[in-house]
Structure 1
């Protein structure tokens, strides 16, 4: 029996890359030459069955743990406490992840690790060189906050001497790529995670399969190629893993379920000193195209029944945008938050908003979004991998996102015991 060969891994996430952009590029294939080359030079998934909700943070944590949200503990992009009104605060804290990550596994194996802009990496354990993803003010002073949370102390300032000071007006993917190139050359991480967000931003702004989205992906194709070239100069035998978190639907309408709960007395609003929730019996925790309904008291059967009736009445009218209402048991089968009393999936064209005193249906301010159940092929994500000995041109079919982290761990010869699915078959 041969010992497992250890290989360096550069893992790049292209946020919001549905596989059809690459697999079915058609006349646009020439705009993304590097990504298209992955179809013949390595293995790829027809699609990746991702996790609920199909949004950035829960899926990125699944990508580096191999577990569902119910186990890793990151259930949404946003923190949620109706009374404290935290709907606008991001869940960015890597030290809140409840299971071992690939960073920790690599570090325990004695390997150097690094990360740039990976979602839910702020304060994450096991990262030697970390420029985390964090919500920053749109102000010239934003770089001070990013410098303060990057590790080790003074590290980002050192990188900025090479590439220039971070500015919120600069293209974020360019900054991420230049920072990553510096880290590859100088720190030589054996396991490196990098996140590029421009495609996601373009699809929120203009919708999927639009000129804006195609242009964003073409730019990203060039950036990824640069990173791979630099990685191969340092580690010629490196594995390159390209992943994503979700796809997209075009949208035009917002369903404000909490405003319906207010009208039915399930949420009480106070206007002093400004509009906020004073008390609640049921609450909609939105994930974009889907949402979970929370009960303040899980044993309150009267409220549960009232919510069930409200949802059933709304679902009868297609103009309200509800495609499915899943029970607690059905919701649990998707591995999301155990607090979910109901799980709502929207019809294409709708997503669930946060309005408390708005009309039930309002016009969307964005042209595209995600968060719908992963049973929609349009919402599924992508996986590509190439490296010495990786099978060339193999279509892996539809894979479970939880298989990706153990696949990477195997390449690193690192231990990820909590992963819930086996590694993918990428070698003969």
Structure 2
């Protein structure tokens, strides 16, 4: 382990008696794993017995990391909070705008709805987030290391005093980029757990958000329900157990642990290339492998779904009608969603928000979308290699996410059926004695020992 003997400075217990809520996201922890006899997850199953588990949790469309982590902390769907995908198209420039690993925008520029940490901070509470998406530069986080792509951005946007504390405690925060590049993801996740322990011990924030990524990374490369995925799942379970044991020991009777995920997973062996079809229809132009920015229509992949942007405003309706018919004939596409069908998915309206696509394609299991425009094949031949992805329709059972809660304020043994990820932020607020007035989802009253006031 990278931090064999970290030192945790203890805050005076007499002056810190407030509740502490920890939201721990295990990226890619599909709900189906909780019932899988092959899954070695004794800690998660122990938490389920000691606390409460949702039968399933519906994610947001597209079922990818950035929009779903933002829904978890805002309680609203992507069309409201503005983080519509891992990437979107700038209609004016024709360029793809990446959101994932926050390369461009600070939180205030990207997230358009109040977050639970905004609400907590406004109420005078202390807040922290470690490797949580879409938090770069967040002014309402007292202690933060954002989920950014390189060490320069970490140095620029993490809390300076916190980085100094990590160094003094022997936590090698400066290794984040190197360990990602060298595929030491498990060690990296382990380091984030050490960071969380340090923050909780020294600062005791009312709210801590944290994000572990190895399971997602492994399933992308090897597929779900594979030996490699089960091994990564076992490691993630050990991290969860480590956090709960720490909370019980260090903050007895005060801490609540909520374990969630952002989406499920599907295996795939065939790639669908919508931009090839668009090029064949003379709606998109490519020079070599590069799609030109003067293209009339552009597909932007979200793994198991694809956003179709029609930039030709005058002919938008006729182009959309033609493309709907053509995409419905493509092998591997399960649905072509039009703006009239967006409302149940909370995607917003392309007529009022430029980043909202004009059409959304969703794939079947076994297929994934890619932004390739070269060649003459729209659906590639089946590959021998198995991989995995997400982004598919959230109504698909395999896309269901995980919710497990235990600790202070949680009604042990409560029965909780199918829920939405829009209920997480208001439930966190209720545990802290707060309200999220803008949330789409209700408070999960069934899990609370003392029901929140209406």
TM-score with structure 2 setting the length: 0.84
Cα distance in structure 1, aligned partners of 2:317 and 2:442: 38
CA 1:16/1:27 → structure 2, altered by over 3 Å: closer, same or farther? closer
Aligned equivalents of 2:310, 2:339: Cα separation in 1 = 11
Distance (whole Å) between structure 1 residues aligned to residue 378 and residue 348 of structure 2:
25
1:94 aligns with 2:102: no
Does 2:372 align with 1:355?
yes
Q: How many angstroms apart in 1 are the aligned matches of 2:27 and 2:197?
A: 19
**Paired position in structure 1 for 2:448:** 427
d(CA) in 2 for partners of 1:67, 1:177: 28
Structure-1 separation of matches of 2:38 and 2:226: 14
* Residue of structure 2 equivalent to 1:161: 168
Deviates more, 1:41-50 or 1:82-91: 82-91
Equivalent of 2:128 in 114, 120, 127: 114
Matches of 1:106 and 1:199 in 2, distance apart?
30
Report Cα offsets for 1:49-71 as digits up to 9, x if no partner.
11110000000000000001111
Kept after mapping to 2: 8 A contact 1:10/1:231: no
- CA distance in structure 2 between the partners assigned to 1:14 and 1:134 by the alignment: 17
1:172–1:338 CA distance, 2 compared to 1 (3 A): farther
**1:103 Cα deviation from its structure 2 partner:** 0.8
Contact 1:78-1:91 within 8 A present in 2 as well: no
CA contact (8 A) 1:118 1:132 kept: yes
Given candidates 315, 319, 333, the residue that maps to 1:322 is: 333
2:237 corresponds to which of 221, 235, 245: 221
Correspondence 1:331 to 2:377 = no
- Contact 1:147 1:154 (C-alpha < 8 Å) held by counterparts: no
The counterpart of 1:65, out of the listed 51, 74, 78, is 74
Separation in structure 1 between the aligned mates of residue 224 and residue 50 of structure 2, nearest angstrom: 27
Q: Note the residue ranges of structure 1 that are not aligned, 5 or more in a row.
A: 137-141
CA RMSD of aligned residues (A): 2.2
Shift of 1:394: 2.6
Contact residue 269 and residue 279 of structure 1 kept, 8 A: no
Question: Of the candidates 325, 330, 345, which is equivalent to residue 312 of structure 1?
Answer: 325
* Equivalent of residue 150 in structure 1, options 158, 167, 172: 158
Alignment deviations for residues 222-245 of structure 1 (CA, whole Å, 9 cap, x no partner): 112222222233432211111110
Matched, 1:192 2:208: yes
Gaps of 5+ in 2: 1-16, 351-356, 450-454
Q: Decide which moves more: 405-414 or 75-84.
A: 75-84
Partner of 1:139: none
Query: d(CA) in 2 for partners of 1:200 and 1:314?
Result: 29
Deviations 1:334-388 (A, max 9, x none): 1124223222111111111101224312367870000001010100101111123
Higher alpha-carbon deviation: 364-373 or 60-69 = 364-373
Q: Distance in 1 between matches of 2:386 and 2:86?
A: 17
The verdict on how the C-alpha distance between 1:220 and 1:278 changes in structure 2, with shifts beyond 3 A counting, is closer
Separation of aligned partners in 1, 2:280 and 2:189: 43
CA, structure 1 residues 275+388, in 2 after alignment: closer, same or farther (shift >3 Å)? Answer: closer
Question: Secondary structure at the residue paired with 1:378?
Answer: helix
**How many residues are treated as equivalent by the alignment?**
408
CA deviations 1:314-350 (Å, max 9, x no partner) are 4235xx2111112210123311242232221111111
Secondary structure in 2 matching 1:53: coil
Give the SS at the match of 1:21.
helix
2:251 to 235, 254, 266: 235
Structure 1 residue matching 2:335: 3-state secondary structure: strand
CA distance in 1 between counterparts of 2:28 and 2:273 reads 24
- By how many angstroms is 1:427 displaced? 2.9
